[in-house]
Amino acid sequence: MDRPLYNSRIINTFIALLRKRYPYINISDLLNYAGMERYQVEDEGHWFSQSQVDRFYEQLVNVTGNTNIAREAGRFAASAESIGAMKQYVLSHVAPATAYEMLGKASINFTRSSTCTARRLRSETVELTFTPVEGVRERPYQCENRIGHIDAVSLVFKHRLPRIEHPECMFRDNGQVCRYIVSWQRSPSAFWHKVRNAFAVGIALVGLIACQEVSSYTLGVFLAAGLLGVLLISLYASHLQVREFSSAIVNLRDSNDKLIEQINTNYNNALFINEIGQALSKQMEIDGILSNVIRKFEQRLDFDRGMIWLVSTDRTRLNFCTGFGYSEDLIEILNNSSFRVRSDSRGIFIISLRERKPFLINNIDEIKDELSPRSLEFARQMKTKSFICCPIIYEDDALGIIAVDNLQTKRLLLQSDISLIMGVAQEIAISLHNAALIQSKLEQFRSILHTLAASIDARAPLTAGHSERVTEYAVGISEEMGMPKDFCEMIRVAALLHDYGKIGVCDSILKKNGKLEPEERQEIEKHAEKTRIILEQIRFEGLYRQVPEIAGCHHEKYDGSGYPKGLRGMEIPLGARILAVADVFEAITSKRHYRDPMPLGQALEILNHERGIHFDSDVVDAFLRYLQRKEMVPRP
């Protein structure tokens, strides 16, 4: 079993860094990947194993795209936002050398993987040596994290980075330990203050010795000159100190300005991530997901152009889907473009897809020899100079890529841009995966519905395809009436199953040639109520809960003379009024056992004659518009 080696406060420092600079990262997913629980991280008495910390760091680099994040987290310990104990400890001391010495002694409270000894070499130089515990194998990123913490101590006191020499490292040249020699500069004002003190002591000593040998006048002149010298040195030292303070104030002001700028950037990025999340949560279809994402990219982010490419269903090609900022000519080129997904491809999009990692290219000319001729020609057609390309990955499945660039603003693309886009790419990947699952389930559901409908229609060869055609008409009417997409999908289900109750009608009646007897007519009319009863056994949700009622009422008539309930007018659900028109039209224009199909003109006359009697006039009008749109009847 892995030994507990690293205190939770180390992980907490990383998490504090993520919250400040990478707010879009899903911390829960990161901890789950590493096998860590949130309550364990919050518990300052909890310790994690080497394998847990390794997995945490591996995924951290993947989601941030920042290979230097270990050192960055170490430096972050000096910031006010750090929730680690290091800064609180260091600030209780007044000298950096003392702080470094105490840091070595305190390291055992943070890690059990190595021991630290600190040795003062000079007043502004210390040596820190980290020796691994037997049986423990640290990783190179932990060396970088230590260097970041060493930086942090100096930043607390000096607001500048120290000089760090690393003459021996356990990760190179067969080193047995990690040894760091840390030095920092003494300020000029401190030097001159020491000169002043030494000069004053010297004047005092000389005065004491000379007081027995020289006259009072001479001694007075000497002491006055000495005091003047002390005063001048003090004034000069104070002048230097004021300059240092002024410089520090300017640096702090610049830092504050940069901090405010960073806060604004982080705030906008957080808003962007939130808006992306909201936009994605409202979409269940791939096209809607992509159009919403690309619109948010254009509105919120500081890029001139952007595009999204997705892998084809057979995994052989990368196809352009959507983009912004491109001229009509370039959009036409993009719409006709695709790249083959091959293991030997040298195109940067395919490499990003294949290796599951982002790329930042600030000068495409620097890599032109590494690109395939077609990729280079594509880049020239797009007039691309610099760009970022990030893969869209769900688990280990590469779904596509996002690419952005700046053509007009000339803003330099940064690592932070990659981090932001990679965070968005994760959200897109999850939504695309969910949309694909929903689409797959929907297609499966539809195939079941078609099979059920076909099983009824197939009982009589002449009625085969009846439910399919009624569905086509009913959906067309709904669209002409401006009904929402969800309603149209619900009507599709109700139309496909509207005659399912006929499964309980015997063949002698269902397939009878000629006119039905009254009792036979009464029996076949029961199919509407049977349809409702059967469909109520299905656990429909949301809008689809109307399906049993609509399917069961498709033989109701507008004047109340229909069956099974004798509903009239607006008592009949709108969906049932739509099915009534679609069902009758399909029935009278198709061949049956007892008659030939009715001519189209005669069928339309019946529909118009039955307005307000059998049918809702608005539904009839919508159906006529549908037939005109399909060019089945001439426009007036």
The more confidently predicted of residues 381 and 277 is: 381
Tell me what the mean pLDDT of segment 318-341 comes to. 91
Give dist(CA 423, CA 273) in Å, integer: 8
Tell me what the mean pLDDT of segment 134-159 comes to. 80
Looking at the predicted structure, is the pLDDT value of residue 349 above 70?
Answer: yes
Write the CA distances from 199 to 87, 189, 234, 548, integer angstroms. Answer: 37, 15, 11, 103
Q: 536-547 pLDDT, tens per residue?
A: 998 888 889 999
Q: Of all helices (H) and strands (E), which one includes residue 181?
A: strand 178-183
Angle of the 286-300 helix axis to the 415-457 helix axis, nearest 10 = 160
Residue 583: predicted pLDDT: 94
Q: 436-478 pLDDT, tens per residue?
A: 888 888 888 888 888 888 887 777 666 778 889 999 999 999 9
Reported confidence tier of residue 84, pLDDT bands at 50, 70, 90: very low
Residues paired with 359 in a beta bridge = 389
**Which two three-digit tokens encode residue 96?**
């950096």
Tell me what the mean pLDDT of segment 152-161 comes to. 63
Residue 90: predicted pLDDT: 41
Residue 83: predicted pLDDT: 36
Q: 193-229 pLDDT, tens per residue?
A: 778 888 888 888 877 777 777 777 777 777 788 888 8
Residue 19: predicted pLDDT: 81
Residue 482: predicted pLDDT: 95
**% of the chain beyond a pLDDT of 70:** 89
- Taking the CA atoms of the chain, what radius of gyration do you get in angstroms? 40
Tell me what the mean pLDDT of segment 59-81 comes to. 80
The more confidently predicted of residues 284 and 306 is: 306
Give dist(CA 423, CA 401) in Å, integer: 13
Tell me what the mean pLDDT of segment 21-26 comes to. 78
The more confidently predicted of residues 246 and 570 is: 570
The more confidently predicted of residues 204 and 533 is: 533
Write the CA distances from 441 to 98, 444, 633, integer angstroms. Answer: 66, 5, 37
Looking at the predicted structure, is the pLDDT value of residue 185 above 80?
Answer: no
Give dist(CA 217, CA 212) in Å, integer: 12
How much is the mean pLDDT over the chain?
84
**Which two three-digit tokens encode residue 123?**
């007043």
Tell me what the mean pLDDT of segment 341-370 comes to. 85
Looking at the predicted structure, is the pLDDT value of residue 331 above 50?
Answer: yes
Looking at the predicted structure, is the pLDDT value of residue 291 above 90?
Answer: no
Residues 34 and 55: beta-carbon distance below 8 Å: yes
Residue 444: predicted pLDDT: 86
Looking at the predicted structure, is the pLDDT value of residue 269 above 50?
Answer: yes
Give dist(CA 176, CA 179) in Å, integer: 9
Give dist(CA 275, CA 277) in Å, integer: 5
Residue 92: predicted pLDDT: 41
- Half-sphere exposure in the Cβ direction for 628 (13 Å, CA): 10
Q: 217-268 pLDDT, tens per residue?
A: 777 777 788 888 888 888 888 887 777 666 656 655 655 565 566 667 667 7
Tell me what the mean pLDDT of segment 318-322 comes to. 93
Write the CA distances from 437 to 129, 277, 286, 444, 449, integer angstroms. Answer: 54, 19, 11, 10, 18
Residue 447: predicted pLDDT: 87
Looking at the predicted structure, is the pLDDT value of residue 87 above 50?
Answer: no
Residue 168: predicted pLDDT: 92
Reported confidence tier of residue 86, pLDDT bands at 50, 70, 90: very low
Sign of CA dihedral 553, 559, 561, 565: positive
Give dist(CA 300, CA 278) in Å, integer: 14
Looking at the predicted structure, is the pLDDT value of residue 576 above 90?
Answer: yes
Residues 41 and 31: beta-carbon distance below 8 Å: yes
Q: Of all helices (H) and strands (E), which one includes residue 318?
A: strand 317-324
Looking at the predicted structure, is the pLDDT value of residue 312 above 80?
Answer: yes
Q: 546-569 pLDDT, tens per residue?
A: 999 999 999 999 999 999 999 999
Tell me what the mean pLDDT of segment 494-521 comes to. 84
Residue 571: predicted pLDDT: 95
Residue 160: predicted pLDDT: 58
